[in-house]
């Protein structure tokens, strides 16, 4: 038997050492990949998977008065069964004519806080950093860089429907 720890290994022994070292590193890498590939794919899936959009009924046509802006609630397009109340989203819905509606996202374009409609002043106001929007959603004051996001609305028979969408993000163009 040769001495594996001899200070001056034979070329043959040297080769064995290198081989074992490389084999160990290679197999360790393989083990790592076997865990990391499915694991990372699992946790990153929500980043790349596009959720389908859906039309959600938010109320009967006759329940919305002309010119009035009201808060409506609807559910995400494909809520997890355990999501419960967190699957809900809100929107400010205004009837502008018999068959025409505007739906604003409740998310302020500054940092996403929920804006409130102040009916008498005809303004949307954000509690977080004081963003203010006019009734058409354009910025009236404060830090928001963009007008309120709008959802698509349609009238199907007697039902008013809103098309679901992602939380509007204010991105930085490069």
Binding residue for another protein, selected from 14, 121, 156, 158, defined by CB under 8 A: 121
Tell me, rounded to whole angstroms, the distance of Cα 18 from its chain centroid: 49
Tell me, rounded to whole angstroms, the distance of Cα 97 from its chain centroid: 32
> Please, which residues bridge with residue 151 across strands?
103
Give min distance, CB of 22 to another protein, in A.
28
Give the dihedral sign, CA 119/121/109/127.
negative
Give min distance, CB of 6 to another protein, in A.
31
d(Cα 108, Cα 34) in Å, to the nearest integer? 43
| Residue 164 contacts residue 153 (beta carbons within 8 Å) | no
Sorted by sequence, the CB contacts under 8 Å of residue 101 that are 6+ apart come out as 64, 93, 94, 95, 153, 155, 160
- Stretch in the footprint of another protein (CB under 8 A) among 14-22, 26-34, 67-75, 153-161: 67-75
Give min distance, CB of 24 to another protein, in A.
23
Give min distance, CB of 53 to another protein, in A.
10
Binding residue for another protein, selected from 79, 152, 154, 158, defined by CB under 8 A: 79
Residues that bind another protein (CB under 8 A): 43-44, 46-47, 50-51, 71, 73-74, 76, 79-90, 106-107, 110-116, 118, 120-123, 125-130, 132, 134-135, 140-143, 145, 166-167, 169-172, 174
């Amino acid at each position: 038997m040769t001495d594996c720890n001899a200070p001056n290994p034979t070329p043959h022994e040297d080769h064995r050492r290198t081989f074992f070292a490389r084999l160990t590193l290679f197999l360790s890498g393989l083990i790592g990949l076997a865990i990391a590939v499915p694991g990372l794919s699992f946790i990153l899936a929500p980043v790349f998977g596009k959720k389908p959009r859906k039309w959600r009924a938010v109320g009967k046509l006759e329940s919305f008065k002309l010119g009035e802006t009201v808060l409506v609630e609807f559910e995400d397009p494909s809520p997890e069964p355990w999501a419960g109340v967190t699957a809900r989203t809100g929107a400010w819905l205004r009837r502008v004519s018999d068959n025409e509606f505007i739906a604003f996202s409740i998310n302020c374009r500054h940092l996403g806080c929920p804006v409130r409609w102040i009916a008498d002043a005809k303004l949307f106001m954000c509690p977080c950093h004081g963003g203010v929007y006019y009734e058409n959603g354009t910025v009236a004051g404060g830090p928001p860089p963009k007008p309120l996001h709008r959802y698509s609305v349609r009238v199907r028979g007697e039902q008013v429907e809103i098309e679901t969408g992602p939380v509007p993000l204010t991105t930085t163009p490069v």
